[in-house]
A and B are shown apart, each in its own frame.
Chain A
C-alpha cells in the first residue's frame, strides 16, 4: 500500500493508504483528523471506492455520499481525488 499525506486547504489532514493499479483503486484506507457522520460511513466509502477508476470515481462517490446521507467535515470528494492523483 502506498502512503499519501495531504493537507486540505482550510480543512483537515488526510493520511491515505492505497493500492492503485492501471488507474483502478484496488484498495484504500482513508485516515486522518477529519470528521465523518456517522463515523462508520468511512468504511462504506472505502468499500465503495474499491474497483473504481481514479479519474472518474468522484461523481459516483458524491452521489453515494448524498444517497447515504453521509456528512464529511474537513475534506471534499474533490480533495480526496486531488490527494489520490498526487500519489498516482
Chain B
C-alpha cells in the first residue's frame, strides 16, 4: 500500500492555514515531501473567497470587521466560504500519482470525505462540480488548484452552520433576495451535528474517521508527521507577504518566487 504523510491537526488563522496549504504545494513540487493529507480548524472564524472573486463585490467589509471575522483570498478558485464550526482538510498529490482531469479528480478525491461521513453513519454523495451532499443538502465544498504537476485540494466538512451570520457577511445588493437566499441555504445546507442530532462531537474522533475515509478511497496508509522546516519557512513568508497583504486580497497580486524552478 502506498504511503502518504498525515500532518498533525492545527487550529490557526485563515491566513496561516492558506499559507501552510500553499507551502505544502510548493514543497511537493520540489519533491521535498511526499503526498500529504492534513486536517485543520479556523481561529478566528473566517471567510475565504475564491481566486477569481472580487472581494469588494462579495464581502460586507464593515460587517466582517464588526464581527471580527478574517477575510482571505484562496489560491484556489470557487466561491466564498464561511469557516467557523468545521473540520477542513487539505491534500497535495502529484499528478503522476493521480492522473485524472480536474472534474474526475474532484470526484475521486472527494470520495475520502464521502467515506468519512459514511464511517459516521451519514450517507453522502458527490455532486459535480465540487460539492458533497447529504439527502440533497450540501455538507462539504471543495476547491482545487494545480501547479507544476501537483494538485492541491482543500475542502470543508461542516460541523454546524450559522446561516444568518454567514449571509450577514456577504454582500447581497437586493435585501428581498437576501431573505430568500437565507431560506434556500437553510433548506439546502446540512452539517454533521445536524445529521447526527448531536452537539457532542469529538474532533479527534472525526479526524480518525475521515483519515480512514481517505485511506479507504485512495488505498493508502499514512505516516504521521509535522510540517518540515522548509514548509514552515515558506509558510511564514507566504503568510506575512501574501495572505495578509492587500495586494493579494484585493487584486490577486503576489510575485511568487517559489514557482517556475522545475
Contacts and interface: CB of A to CB of B under 8 A. Distances in A.
B102 A34 contact: no
A39 B145 contact: yes
B52 A33 contact: yes
A32 interface: yes
A29 B54 CA distance: 10
B102 A74 contact: no
Interface string B78-100: 11100000000000000000000
A71 B75 CA distance: 16
Interface string B38-74: 0000000000001111100100000000000000000
Interface residues of B, number: 22
Nearest to A37: B146
A interface secondary structure, majority: strand
B142 to A, nearest CB: 11
Contact of B79 (A11, A29, A33): A33
B77 A34 contact: yes
B144 interface: yes
B102 A35 contact: yes
A42 B54 CA distance: 13
Contacts of B145: 37, 39
Interface string A31-75: 111111111001000000000000000000000000000010110
Contacts of A81: none
A30 B102 contact: no
B102 A39 contact: no
Nearest to B80: A33
B225 interface: no
Contact of B103 (A32, A33, A73): A73
Contacts of A34: 50, 52, 77-78
A42 B53 CA distance: 12
The 4 closest A-B pairs by CB, nearest first: A33-B79, A35-B77, A31-B54, A39-B51
19 contacts: A12-B79, A13-B79, A15-B54, A15-B57, A31-B52, A32-B52, A32-B53, A33-B78, A33-B79, A34-B52, A37-B145, A38-B147, A39-B51, A39-B52, A39-B77, A71-B101, A71-B102, A73-B77, A74-B129
Interface of B: 50-54, 57, 75-80, 101-103, 129, 143-147, 252
